[in-house]
Amino acid sequence: MTDQTKDRVVIFDTTLRDGEQSPGATMTHAEKLEIAGLLDEMGVDIIEAGFPIASEGDFNAVSEIAKNAANSVICGLARANFKDIDRCWEAVQHAKRPRIHTFIGTSPLHRAIPNLTQDEMADRIHETVTHARNLCDNVQWSPMDATRTEWDYLCRTVEIAIKAGATTINIPDTVGYTAPVESANLIRRLIATVPGADEVVFATHCHNDLGMATANSLAAVEGGARQIECTINGLGERAGNTALEEVVMAMKVRGDILPFYTGIDTTKIMNISRRVASVSGFPVQFNKAIVGKNAFAHESGIHQDGMLKNAETFEIMRPEDVGLTETNIVMGKHSGRAALRSKLKDLGYELADNQLNDVFVRFKELADRKKEVYDDDLIALVTAGADTDSNRLQIKHLRVVCGTDGPQMATLTMEVDGVEHGTEATGDGPVDATFNAVKNLFPHDARLQLYQVHAVTEGTDAQATVSVRMEEDGRIVTGQSADTDTVVASAKAYVHALNRLLVRREKTGSDAREVSYKDVS
């Protein structure tokens, strides 16, 4: 079956809006622009770049993304009031193809928050969608918690939004409550029942609370939806959102029963998955579909034997279909810049000369400590801790004494604003002692929310990638680093997070969320 005989499904990516709402996943301005650029290159139809009224930082990021987008529609989120909608338009109007996405909670539970009657809410929907359409000819409207909204009232509000000028009607399963058969039937019934439904695009937005987001999204498409809202790696609040890579590859692999196609370049999936994991501080679980480390790994003897004879015995898609490639270049201490550049290009990273030089120096240091440098080692070098906007704090020397006889002690020399300082500290283990030493030299009240370590590759000489998440006065930052010494990686990740916190402090909290999504007054 060719694409000409299939229906096109629009991919609406909300990694930078709904995905970033996941606690601790806040991204910097530069990171948002980078991810938006990767989404644009990959062929995402619509990028929901943020919630412009939320903060000055969000507004600036949406504006900049709108100015830089080459192909994608750039969308901003707005609650059902004129102030939000005006601010959203102010941000997205710079795009070649802008969109305003406005929403209101229509279920009984959500109507109770602004204390609106059904008639009062209906009036507000008409007024706000009309206002948005007067500003922009591409307007999306969402009845939040649609799957728990009374059927008659849902039909009524959808009809009002269509008559007011909405061009896309998004039906959110805000709390991941529905099941696939319900998802398909809901879309099918709305299209058949609501006047004007055949003149707009219906979209589906599913959360994964019961693990059915991908199934619900695909079922909605079978029911008539032609836009899927999703995020990279399924990033999002609580259990996350529909994963872009899952729905896209499901339609690609099972085109025999899913007669749909997208404009996504699937070979770019692995690169953007790794980058989102890095900047968000949310690593991908090993057995995650499509992009997990084990997604194309085979350990069972029966599986390995079958793979050697015919890869299709245990693989329904090729690793290269999602951008997971293997090359014959083995990297080691004798490898030069040209080989490193070629290898990184195969892995999806095209670096400027100054970036390549920085990675090359760190690659040589790593190669002196490891016999063989694996692909994942190189990815860690490129991504972990190399994107700090501030370098006011830098680890210079670290020595740790540990063992069965405590207390453990860390001796640290750290550069603070260009001046070296030294200290010693003890702690309950080498990492605790190291963090205490950092705190001695740079006192702070930030609370460590998460400390996570995983080995990049196998073997006792494997690099450890460490992620830390810290919170101070509502500002949440993440830090990452990688090193063959876990304690060194921990120290660098901790300092990486503190440097990011300093940037946030300097912006006087402008990147912190300033409004609540539930405040629709």
Q: Please state the residue numbers annotated as binding site for Mn(2+).
A: 18, 205, 207, 241
CB 491 within 8 A of CB 398: yes
DSSP character for 232?
G
Phi, psi of 147 (to 5 degrees): -70, -10
Beta bridge partners of 310: none
Closest CA to 435 of 386, 487, 483: 487
- Rounded distance between C-alpha atoms, residue 174 and residue 355, angstroms: 41
Contacts of 363 (CB under 8 A, 6+ apart): 331, 335, 340, 373, 378, 381
Side chain identity, residue 506:
E
Known binding residues: 18, 205, 207, 241
What is the torsional sign of CA 82, 86, 92, 97? Answer: positive
Distance of alpha carbon 86 from its chain centroid, rounded?
26
Crossing angle of helices 180-193 and 213-222, rounded to 10°: 30
Tokens of 69: 């987008």
Residue 223: both structure tokens together:
């029911």
State the Cα–Cα distance between residues 470 and 501, nearest whole angstrom: 8
DSSP track, 423-459: EEEEESSHHHHHHHHHHHHS----EEEEEEEEESSSS
Q: Distance between CA 465 and CA 27 in Å, rounded?
A: 19
The tokens describing 148, both together, are 């728990």
Give SS3 for 125. helix
Report residue 2 as tokens. Answer: 């060719």
